[in-house]
Amino acid sequence: MTPTTATHEITETLAASPNQKYWDIGLKCFNDGEVATTAIQRIWAAMAPPASLNVLASIVGSLYADTYWATTKMDRNKLALDLQASLGINPNDCQKAATFAFSKWYGLMVRANFSDAGAIPKLGSLTASPDVIANGKAALTVQQLIAMWNVYVWDPQPNLKNNCYGRAQSINIQEPIAKPILRMYYSDAGFNPPPTSWIQMFTFTGSSPVSDMQGTTPGPVPVGGRIANVDSFAFTPAGSGHYCMIAAVGTEFFTNNPLDTPGNWNSMEWLTNNGAAGWHNVDVPLGKDSLLKFYNQDSTPEHFAFEAHSAKVPAGTIISLGFADKQLAQTQPTQSVKIVKGYEVVGTEAEIPPHYTGDLRLSIDGKPLPADASVDVRLYWRIPPGHRNYLQAVDHLGDIRALNQRTEVHVPLGNFTFIGK
């Protein structure tokens, strides 16, 4: 277990929202089975002037999250259309309000990294969640999991049933959450695994694919409350190796079913826009070489670039990136760097064939990594102008300069971080 303090701490005790009565109206509409457009009209009618379209969009967007979730992200266009149809307000104002509402996460959030404060798309590392936990043979209570809120807990033991957990915190939503549940999955270590590669995990008790979640005391999750799963999930790795593990939290407002539509873009959008799901791709090297799996899920060749970013690695260490696949290794030789500075980068890239699964080999040749050292391996999808996803990528990255200059953009598809101990 590695203690680490969060950069952006979200407190558990939050002041009551000045808009609480509007949230309560929205919740009553939801509980009464009324549709989102009816809730929009009822909340708007109750708002004292000057009424806030941003507040209205945020309330409806969060309480009716299942209505607006479009497989991989919240659909701001649908929310804007519902606002305009229900109120007759200027479409541009409705679009701005919907964009505002879905620019941060509402509900139960699983942190992507210690600095995650709920921005959507997520910022920083996408796959370093401290809320995805493997604790070997020892079971942990909810109270222990919450007490260790700012601690990485990752100690999987090969050939044994490991106790695994997920944590979450209620953020931005101003109503209690009554029905929090957790599902967990794992896959081979690497990047952008398609949904077909996810392996569902089951609880120790009852072999259920779902565990209830709660705080230090049972009952609905209060505003700002922190929770963890009651029943641990069993994870039995076949041998020593590295894995990706996924925790996906659901509520009465957001079901959060697993991604079921393959494709590079879909995987990226689900990863970066789903605040209720966290990935743990952080581990200690088990030897000199590590294999990381990557996937081109599309039916066309795609250009992937890999980078290994080393920090505080002992001088003289040689870090190499290369392809373990003969097909790619023949055209792309292994790239290496000898560490002489505190921060170094080595990269390699290739055009990846359609529907291709490959292995990237990372080699760390030198002294064991000290506790404060890391090698962060990143995958970028290089998308040129004219590509079918180019305009989406520019919008996702907010890269107006690339659009104006018609230059290539690099879309992150995930990372895997090796740390010392």
Q: What is the pLDDT of residues 168-177, one digit of tens each?
A: 999 999 999 9
Among 263, 282, 301, the domain-final residue is 282
Same structural domain, 171 and 269: yes
Same structural domain, 273 and 127: yes
Q: Is residue 2 part of a domain?
A: no
Q: Given this model, what pLDDT does residue 4 score?
A: 46
Q: Is residue 163 part of a domain?
A: yes
Which tokens sit at 287? 């030897």
Average pLDDT over the chain, rounded to an integer: 93
- Do residues 276 and 268 touch, judged by C-beta distance below 8 A? no
276-290 pLDDT, tens per residue?
A: 999 999 888 888 999
Same structural domain, 164 and 181: yes
pLDDT for residue 363 is more than 50: yes
48-77 pLDDT, tens per residue?
A: 989 999 999 999 999 999 999 999 999 999
How far CA 238 is from CA of 66, 156, 320, in Å, comes to: 37, 11, 27
Q: Given this model, what pLDDT does residue 12 score?
A: 54
The mean per-residue pLDDT over the stretch 93-97 comes to 98
Q: Given this model, what pLDDT does residue 241 score?
A: 72
Selection from 411, 298, 303 nearest residue 350 by Cα? 303
pLDDT for residue 417 is more than 70: yes
What is the number of helices (H) and of strands (E) in the chain? 11, 22
Same structural domain, 135 and 241: yes
Q: Is residue 359 part of a domain?
A: yes
Q: Which pTM was predicted? A: 0.92
Q: Given this model, what pLDDT does residue 11 score?
A: 55
Distance CA 16, CA 283 (A): 40
Among 226, 256, 282, the domain-final residue is 282
Distance CA 328, CA 370 (A): 32
Where does the pLDDT of residue 206 fall: very low under 50, low under 70, confident under 90, or very high at 90 and above? confident
The mean per-residue pLDDT over the stretch 163-169 comes to 97
DSSP strand pairing (374-383 vs 409-419): antiparallel
The mean per-residue pLDDT over the stretch 20-36 comes to 98
Q: Is residue 187 part of a domain?
A: yes
Other CB atoms within 10 Å distance of the CB of residue 147: 13
Q: Is residue 46 part of a domain?
A: yes
Distance CA 168, CA 158 (A): 27
The mean per-residue pLDDT over the stretch 378-402 comes to 96
Same structural domain, 303 and 413: yes
pLDDT for residue 329 is more than 70: yes
- Do residues 6 and 114 touch, judged by C-beta distance below 8 A? yes
Q: Given this model, what pLDDT does residue 157 score?
A: 82
pLDDT for residue 6 is more than 90: no
Total tally of structural domains belonging to the chain: 3
SS3 222: coil
pLDDT for residue 16 is more than 80: no
Q: Given this model, what pLDDT does residue 15 score?
A: 53
Among 73, 101, 129, the domain-final residue is 101
pLDDT for residue 121 is more than 50: yes
Q: Is residue 337 part of a domain?
A: yes
Residue 160, phi then psi, degrees to nearest 5: -130, 160
Same structural domain, 113 and 231: yes
CATH classification at residue 319: 2.60.120
Which tokens sit at 188? 């081979």
The mean per-residue pLDDT over the stretch 328-350 comes to 94
297-328 pLDDT, tens per residue?
A: 999 999 999 999 999 999 999 999 999 988 89
Distance CA 377, CA 248 (A): 24
Q: Is residue 15 part of a domain?
A: no
Q: Is residue 340 part of a domain?
A: yes
Domain enclosing residue 76, as ranges = 20-101
Paired with 187 in beta bridges are 244
Distance CA 30, CA 363 (A): 53
234-278 pLDDT, tens per residue?
A: 998 776 678 899 999 999 999 999 888 899 999 999 999 999 999
210-219 pLDDT, tens per residue?
A: 999 999 999 9
Q: Given this model, what pLDDT does residue 164 score?
A: 96
Same structural domain, 30 and 77: yes
How far CA 418 is from CA of 61, 261, 284, in Å, comes to: 37, 29, 5
End-to-end CA distance of the chain: 9
Same structural domain, 328 and 400: yes
Same structural domain, 277 and 407: no
The mean per-residue pLDDT over the stretch 352-370 comes to 96
Same structural domain, 178 and 264: yes
Concatenated DSSP letters of 318-372: EEEEEESSHHHHTTS--EEEE--SSEEEEEEEEEEPTTEEEEEEEEEESSPPPTT
- Do residues 65 and 253 touch, judged by C-beta distance below 8 A? yes
Same structural domain, 175 and 202: yes
